[in-house]
Amino acid sequence: MLDAGVGYECAWYCYQLLFCNPEVNIANLPAGVEARGFMFGPSIALAIGAKFVPLRKPRKLPGEVIAEAYDLEYGSDCLEMHVGAVQPGERVIVIDDLVATGGTLSAAIRLLERVGAQVVECACVIGLREVKT
Ligand SMILES: O=P(O)(O)OC[C@H]1O[C@H](OP(=O)(O)OP(=O)(O)O)[C@H](O)[C@@H]1O
Ligand SMILES: Nc1ncnc2[nH]cnc12
């Protein structure tokens, strides 16, 4: 998705789609999945006056991290989050561009719940119904 670039109208549509999700209103912390979750998450953070938590691919974050491995359609990967990025009880919305098997989102949820966060919603622009899980 978005590999060929994205126009203003498309970007605005995606933002509305994510931001008009009523669950955004009960979340106080957006967490975005690298890489394309970073295109949407920071806008939502700005809009609700929150910090943005990046969930990154391995060996990208400079500080101490916790990690969760997961399987995809075409291999396996791992997400990392800085220790202390999220406090217990914070209400998190996880943001990514696309859900296929759901492996990435599941790993993101596990990571956040390990530090006591409450994941209240996941928001993605595209769901691939044809992908077998
Ligand atoms: O539902 P799933 O089967 O887990 O797949 C969805 C994930 O796959 C894509 O990222 P990808 O892992 O290809 O990494 P990229 O950000 O480097 O493109 C996409 O941006 C999601 O994060
Ligand atoms: N089937 C798929 N098509 C495009 N992007 C993807 N990311 C993960 N699975 C994908």
Measured in Å, residue 104 CA sits from the centre of ligand 1 at 7
| Position 2 pLDDT exceeds 60 | no
52's CB contacts (< 8 A; 6+ apart) are 30, 31, 32, 41, 42, 45
Residue of higher predicted confidence among 79 and 18: 79
Its pTM surpasses 0.90: yes
pLDDT at 132 over 70: no
77 CA closest ligand 1 atom index: 12
Rounded percentage of the chain residues whose pLDDT exceeds 90:
71
Centroid of ligand 1 to alpha carbon of 79 (angstroms):
11
- Residue 91: active-site member: no
Helices 8-19 and 41-48 pack at an angle, to 10 degrees, of: 60
pLDDT over 70 at 4, yes or no: no
Write phi, then psi, for 66 (nearest 5 degrees): -115, 150
More confident residue, 30 or 25: 30
pLDDT given for residue 122 in this prediction: 93
Residue range 41-51: mean pLDDT, rounded: 91
| Cα–Cα distance for residue pair 83/67, rounded to 1 Å | 10
Structural domains of the chain, ranges and CATH numbers in brackets: 14-126 (3.40.50.2020)
**Residue 120, pLDDT above cutoff 90:** yes
Q: What percent of the chain has pLDDT over 70?
A: 94
Residues lining ligand 1, judged by CB closer than 6 Å?
Answer: 33-36, 72-73, 77, 96-104
Task: Report the pLDDT value the prediction gives residue 3, as an integer from 0 to 100.
Answer: 57
**Which of 34, 36, 90, 121 does the annotation list as catalytic?**
36
- The answer to whether residue 56 is catalytic is no
- Which candidate in 23, 59, 73, 114 is catalytic? 73
